[in-house]
Amino acid sequence: MSDRATRLGVLGSPIAHSKSPGLHLAAYRRLGLEWSYERVEMDGAGVGEYVRTRDATWRGLSLTMPLKYDVVPALDEIDVVARLTGAANTVLLDDGRRLGFNTDVGGIVRSLAEAGLHEARSAIIVGGGATAASALVAVAELGVAHVRLLLRRPEAGEPLVELGRSVGVVVEPEHIGALADAAPVDLVVSTLPGGTDAGVAASVDLVGGALLLDVAYAPWPTPLASHWIIAGGRVIDGSGMLLHQALLQVRIFVGGDPAAVLPDEAAVLDVMRESLR
């Protein structure tokens, strides 16, 4: 796997802003691997053909939205997390096989652990896309039993209600306006795209009692995070999730398994974290 011709890349649209190349290249240089990692502008209509036509020089791909859903039909196998969420953000190309993984769940869990949150009982998730599905599986791992799912169209939340049943979490879809009078919970996860305004301010009780993980990191702060910060609440942005999901991707591309710890992994994580600065 140390061949200089080994190629990787991140696919999405738009993709020019992606910080993934810096994260991954920092890791591979620290590991002594002369691998390349490039940005590829790609929409959902083209991702299947692109994945299927990679030659033997390619080791893997990272995917941003909306490709996390669109890529799944092109894969030969997916891991249990990708199967649960219906979304894969990582493709390992291994001896002609196309293997899909979801490292977003692990990225969320690890970033929350760095913020001191290792377990929770209740949560609010704002938004309903692929990242919301990953957030739901992540909070289930933390022990959350009940989630209020806040959406502009609550009727669109049924797939996440079903996902909640499969991981033992009761999910109640509500209108996003419920933020205004929400009671305290342990954790709020906002999965709204960066810069999107929820159109409502969170209640004083919610801001005072819950840690907010806003998965956006640019532009920062988001309107919701800005409100939280001004009110004195606890907030973390999405850079930790980005960092830790990328570390798990590096494990997959190097060792074939998100559980395969890298050589001198602490140092690898340090250089990846530095690349974000």
Q: Let me know how long the chain is.
A: 277
Q: What is the number of structural domains in the chain?
A: 2
What's the pLDDT tens digit per position in 213-225?
999 998 899 999 9
214 and 123 in a single domain? The answer is yes
Residue 171: its pLDDT value, please?
A: 98
Pairwise CA distance, residues 226 & 39, whole Å: 30
Q: How far apart are CA 65 and CA 11, in angstroms?
A: 9
Determine the average pLDDT of the residues in 250-267: 98
Q: How confident is the model at residue 1 (pLDDT cuts 50, 70, 90)?
A: very low
Same-domain check for residues 92 and 30:
yes
On whether residue 2 sits in a domain, the answer given is no
Same domain for 35 and 110: no
Report the 10 Å Cβ neighbour count for 117.
17
Round to whole Å and give the CA distance between 215 and 131. Answer: 8
Enumerate the active-site residues: 68
Position 1 in a domain: no
Same domain for 229 and 194, yes or no, is yes
Residues 258 and 154 in one domain: no
* Other CB atoms within 10 A of residue 54 CB: 16
Is the Cα torsion angle 70, 71, 74, 78 positive or negative in sign?
A: negative
Structural domain harbouring 195: 106-237
pLDDT, position 2: 46
CATH code of 27's domain:
3.40.50.10860
Work out the average pLDDT over 102-126.
98
CATH of the domain at 181: 3.40.50.720
pLDDT band at 257 (very low <50, low <70, confident <90, very high): very high
pLDDT class of 4 with cuts at 50, 70, 90: low
